């Protein structure tokens, strides 16, 4: 074939209009991926069957709060009789089920189906994709835990409890819940990105969240009976729930719901640093994993 200039292939202009509207940048890709992820975590934008589980679990999560508010209003108590910061730790089973069931939705499906290649072909980098997915899951967990706490807060205000005291408690609880959501999202996201089959991913996340908590509970109850408080406090570092509970009670003045909580400022700082280190390391591993996926 000759390659003279006259014979060169030409794309003919057959009159289609070109796009001249605004071009949204990478930031917009990230925002819409974040919103979709957040909605998907609750089953919106997916099949009707996918909505059942998250919404049922959310309803179960709300039931105790509604009952408590009802009791508070009927009995006429002037103040909330449950500490906001203990709500999350008392319902850690429900939270774990939600996280275990929904983390694979955000982290396993793209990787299993191969759709990840298409996502990573877009301007958003692998690291950006991983972080946005993580943010969706963290915010979904935050909303899941915050909603019943806000119901309690609204109930307490409606029962004319002391506003400044209640608000202070709420802020402490909010900080704790934000940290808890970040830690849970990191662990669950990492585990379900590494375990692709759904049933297996759910099981692996549960092992990471619940078995560690059961493990810590067993160690702490034995150590406290034996009078060995130091071991009990160090053991608390091994489970996400006791870890955040320790930060909340040690640094923020919340109430601990476990037999052993850090009493000195140094130990509480160790708890906080461990929580931040878990988030940092987990995110680094997650980003590295997605980076590798993009290269395949």
Partner 1 sequence: MNATITRLAARSLFGRRRGVLLVVLPFLLVALSMAVALLTEATSAVDPVTAVFGLGLVLPLVALLVSTGVIGPEIEDGSIVYLLATPVSRLSVAVSKQVVASVVTVVLGAGAVLTSALVLAPGSPGQALALGLGAVVAGLAYCGLFVALSALLRHGTVAGLIYVLVFEGLLASWLSGLRYLSVGSFGRRVAGALTDDLDLVVRDMSLVYGVVAALVFTVGGALVTAHRLRSFELRGDD
Residue 166 and residue 122 in contact, taking contact as beta carbons nearer than 8 Å: no
Residue 241 and residue 180 in contact, taking contact as beta carbons nearer than 8 Å: yes
User: Encoding tokens for residue 140?
Assistant: 């979904």
- Contact mark string toward partner 1, 57..76, x via CB under 8 A: ---x----------------
Q: Which stretch binds partner 1 (CB under 8 A): 68-76, 164-172, 218-226, 239-247?
A: 218-226
Question: Minimum distance between the CB of residue 37 and partner 1, rounded to whole angstroms?
Answer: 15
How far, in Å, CA of 127 to CA of 239, rounded?
Answer: 27
Residue 116 and residue 193 in contact, taking contact as beta carbons nearer than 8 Å: no
Would you count residue 228 as binding partner 1 (CB under 8 A)? yes
206 or 269: CB nearest partner 1: 206
Interactions with partner 1, residue window 152-211 (CB under 8 A)? 195, 197-200, 202-204, 206-207, 210-211
Question: Minimum distance between the CB of residue 201 and partner 1, rounded to whole angstroms?
Answer: 9
User: Encoding tokens for residue 279?
Assistant: 């988030």
> Quick one: 7 exposed, middle or buried, by C-beta within 10 A (0-12, 13-18, 19+)?
exposed
Interactions with partner 1, residue window 99-128 (CB under 8 A)? 100-101, 109
Question: Minimum distance between the CB of residue 214 and partner 1, rounded to whole angstroms?
Answer: 5
Would you count residue 226 as binding partner 1 (CB under 8 A)? yes
Owner of token pair 């060995």: 228
- Residues 145-177 as b or e (16 or more Cβ within 10 Å = b): bbebbebbbebbeebebeeeebeebbebbbbbb
Q: Which stretch binds partner 1 (CB under 8 A): 17-25, 147-155, 171-179, 220-228?
A: 220-228
How far, in Å, CA of 71 to CA of 76, rounded?
Answer: 8
124 or 219: CB nearest partner 1: 219
Question: Minimum distance between the CB of residue 203 and partner 1, rounded to whole angstroms?
Answer: 5
User: Alpha carbon of 163 to those of 79, 80, 81, 155: distances in Å?
Assistant: 10, 11, 15, 12
Would you count residue 218 as binding partner 1 (CB under 8 A)? yes
- Position among 222, 230, 266, 277 found at the interface with partner 1 (CB under 8 A): 222
Question: Minimum distance between the CB of residue 204 and partner 1, rounded to whole angstroms?
Answer: 6
Q: CA-CA-CA-CA torsion for 250, 253, 257, 261, nearest 10 degrees?
A: 20
9 backbone dihedrals φ, ψ, rounded to 5°: -65, 145
Question: Minimum distance between the CB of residue 76 and partner 1, rounded to whole angstroms?
Answer: 25
Question: Minimum distance between the CB of residue 40 and partner 1, rounded to whole angstroms?
Answer: 11
Chain centroid to CA 286: 14
Catalog residues that contact partner 1 under the rule CB under 8 A: 46-47, 49-50, 53, 60, 93-94, 96-97, 100-101, 109, 195, 197-200, 202-204, 206-207, 210-211, 214-215, 217-219, 221-222, 225-226, 228, 231
């Amino acid at each position: 074939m000759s390659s003279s200039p006259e014979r060169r292939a030409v794309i003919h202009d057959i009159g289609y209009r070109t796009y001249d509207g605004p071009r949204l940048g990478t930031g917009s890709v990230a925002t819409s991926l974040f919103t979709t992820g957040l909605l998907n975590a609750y089953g919106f934008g997916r099949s009707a069957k996918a909505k059942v589980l998250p919404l049922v679990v959310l309803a179960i999560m709300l039931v105790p709060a509604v009952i408590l508010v009802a009791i508070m209003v009927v009995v006429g108590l002037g103040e909330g009789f449950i500490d906001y910061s203990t709500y999350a730790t008392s319902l850690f089973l429900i939270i774990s089920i939600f996280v275990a069931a929904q983390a694979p939705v955000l982290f396993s499906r793209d990787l299993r189906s191969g759709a990840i290649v298409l996502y990573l072909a877009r301007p958003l980098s692998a690291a950006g994709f991983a972080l946005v997915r993580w943010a969706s899951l963290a915010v979904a967990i935050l909303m899941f835990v915050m909603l019943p706490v806000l119901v309690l807060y609204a109930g307490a205000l409606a029962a004319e409890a002391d506003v400044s005291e209640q608000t202070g408690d709420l802020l402490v609880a909010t900080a704790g819940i934000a940290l808890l959501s970040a830690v849970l999202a990191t662990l669950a996201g990492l585990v379900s990105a590494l375990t692709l089959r759904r049933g297996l991913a759910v099981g692996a996340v549960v092992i990471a969240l619940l078995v560690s908590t059961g493990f810590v509970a067993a160690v702490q109850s034995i150590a406290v009976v034996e009078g060995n408080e130091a071991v009990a406090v160090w053991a608390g570092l091994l489970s996400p729930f006791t870890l955040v509970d320790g930060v909340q009670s040690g640094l923020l003045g919340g109430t601990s719901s476990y037999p052993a909580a850090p009493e000195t400022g140094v130990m509480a700082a160790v708890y906080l640093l461990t929580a931040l280190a878990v988030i940092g390391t987990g995110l680094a591993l997650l980003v590295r994993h997605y980076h590798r996926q993009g290269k395949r």
